Amino acid sequence: MRGRSIPDAFLANASFLALLLLFTGSPSIFQHCFARREFHHRPPPAGSHHPPPPAPVMQPPPSPASSSTFSVLDYGAVGDGATDDTKASAFGDAWSAACAVRASKLLVPASYVFLVGPITFTGDSCEPNMAFQVDGTILAHAAGSTAWNSGAVTQWLEFKNVRGLSIQGCGAIDGQGSEWWSGGSVTGDAKIGANVTVMGITIRNSPRFHLTLDTCRAVEVHDVAVSSPRDSPNTDGIHLAASVGVSIHHSIIACGDDCISIQDGCSDVFVRSVHCGPGHGISIGGLGKSGATAFVSDVTVQDITLNQTTTGVRIKTWQGGSGSVKNVRFTDVRVSAVKTPIVIDQYYCDHATCTNQTSAVAVTAVAYQGVTGTYTERPVYLACSDAAPCSGIQLADIQLSPVKDNSGHHLQGPFCWKAYGEVVHPVEPPVDCLRAVAP
Ligand SMILES: *[C@@H]1O[C@H](CO)[C@@H](O)[C@H](O)[C@H]1NC(C)=O
Ligand SMILES: *[C@@H]1O[C@H](CO)[C@@H](O)[C@H](O)[C@H]1NC(C)=O
Ligand SMILES: CC(=O)N[C@H]1CO[C@H](CO)[C@@H](O)[C@@H]1O
């Protein structure tokens, strides 16, 4: 398995940057699916300093009367979980047929399991407003299968250049990742993205990231469940790259890496009412690897619960990069047995040693407003760069205490290095190391 690239479970790629019209599909299907998830929404606390940014503009759903349904069963899919349903081109043909019709529906019917190899669904010549309705299960081939083209594939289900696509339903997308995880080699570099709404579905056991949105505009992901084990490497829940106007809400994410990862080129990202755990928490970065320039701005993360994650809300940058992270707000974040709830790490390094360098991706205007709950190691860790100290950090209404049963945990106090900003009481424990003024 060494050297094999690891495919991301599911991705959507849009190479043009215009605004996406979002369609919500059938509300009744959505409510039915969501009934089994249990995210309890809490309103944002009073006294939030800014109103939440608007979610992407929603358009009315297409008229059901105008839609036609194309079931993969009618295009030769078997759905027995053993026959390769990409070989007979069932998915490709159903996609092409649905594509030719405005507001159509490609149906992956319930009670079937479709074994599917790597496939790209290209929307260039599609009529707009298609629904990709997943009510059954789409299953990836096991790691050693020849379907993976000698491991050259870095993505599994790719949606490219799609307009107004809604990926929806009560079904599951299952990446069968366990054999990849034990393979231990992660070389995949999937470029992925979307111009779509993703709702209702479950995405589980990806070999690598579960859902990636790359080069997307006005995307909405909601009522989605992501599930893979705590020890599955590099299995980010939702990975965002170069995407603007993304709304992720009412979703439940359990995985072995970042719950939501926000990378270079992302702005106007709104994450609300999401539960994370296990996993590594919600992360901006790592940015600036190998001297890269990276920009992330205008990110709001609100009404979040994190249970047993390694970090809560984190910004991580490599030494030697340039660019900035700015205007970030973490509001109403509830942590439970999280190792380190609040983290800025401008010395991020995922291997043993990284050489010291002077430049850094700057971090400015980051507010933490209402972060409460329990930690197992350290409440606050703000390790900022000597060359580019963090500025405009606000800690307001922080109530963090050690887990009750902290046996086996080595508790540490808040840590700051070159971190500047303000503390708005109450902040418990006190974070005296956050200095008011940059020198
Ligand atoms: C956290 O997860 C554990 C194990 O899955 C569960 O027993 C516990 O109830 C959860 N706690 C909260 C606060 O959700
Ligand atoms: C980097 O700098 C730190 C702090 O000055 C020092 O402790 C560490 O040894 C340096 N690491 C390398 C690889 O030079
Ligand atoms: C990238 C992409 O596909 N953008 C399209 C999203 O949908 C809107 C509305 O249909 C189009 O105008 C965009 O071109």
Q: 289-298, pLDDT tens digit by residue?
A: 999 999 999 9
Atom number in ligand 3 closest to CA 217 = 1
The answer to pTM > 0.95 is: no
Q: 189-201, pLDDT tens digit by residue?
A: 333 445 689 999 9
Active centre residues (catalytic): 257, 280
Given pLDDT bands bounded at 50, 70 and 90, which one contains residue 11?
A: low
User: Residue 276: nearest ligand to its CA?
Assistant: 1
Q: Average pLDDT, stretch 288-311? A: 97
Q: Which residues contact 218 (CB under 8 A, 6 or more apart)?
A: 19, 20, 21, 22, 56, 57, 195, 244, 245, 246
Query: Collapsing DSSP states into helix, strand and coil, what is residue 413?
Result: coil
Q: Which residue has the higher pLDDT, 411 or 59?
A: 411
| Rounded CA separation 12/14 (Å) | 7
Lowest mean pLDDT among 167-176, 346-355, 408-417, 428-437: 346-355
Burial class from Cβ neighbours inside 10 Å (0-12, 13-18, 19+) for residue 221 reads buried
Name the residue of 259, 304, 336, 403 whose CB sits within 8 Å of the most ligand 1 atoms, as the mutation to test its pocket. 336
Q: 147-194, pLDDT tens digit by residue?
A: 776 666 677 888 888 878 999 999 999 988 887 776 543 333 333 445
**Residue 204 contacts residue 175 (beta carbons within 8 Å):** yes
Interstrand relation of 119-122 and 137-140 (parallel, antiparallel or unpaired): unpaired
Q: Average pLDDT, stretch 313-317? A: 97
Strands (E), 277-418: 282-287, 293-307, 311-318, 322-338, 340-348, 362-375, 380-383, 390-402, 415-417
Which residue lies with its CA nearest to atom 6 of ligand 2? 356
Atom number in ligand 3 closest to CA 123 = 3
Name the fold adopted by 8-44+105-428: Pectate Lyase C-like (2.160.20)
Q: What is the pLDDT of residue 164?
A: 85
Q: 78-100, pLDDT tens digit by residue?
A: 999 999 998 889 999 999 999 99
Is pLDDT of 322 > 90? yes
User: Residue 338: nearest ligand to its CA?
Assistant: 1
Is pLDDT of 17 > 90? no
Is pLDDT of 43 > 60? no
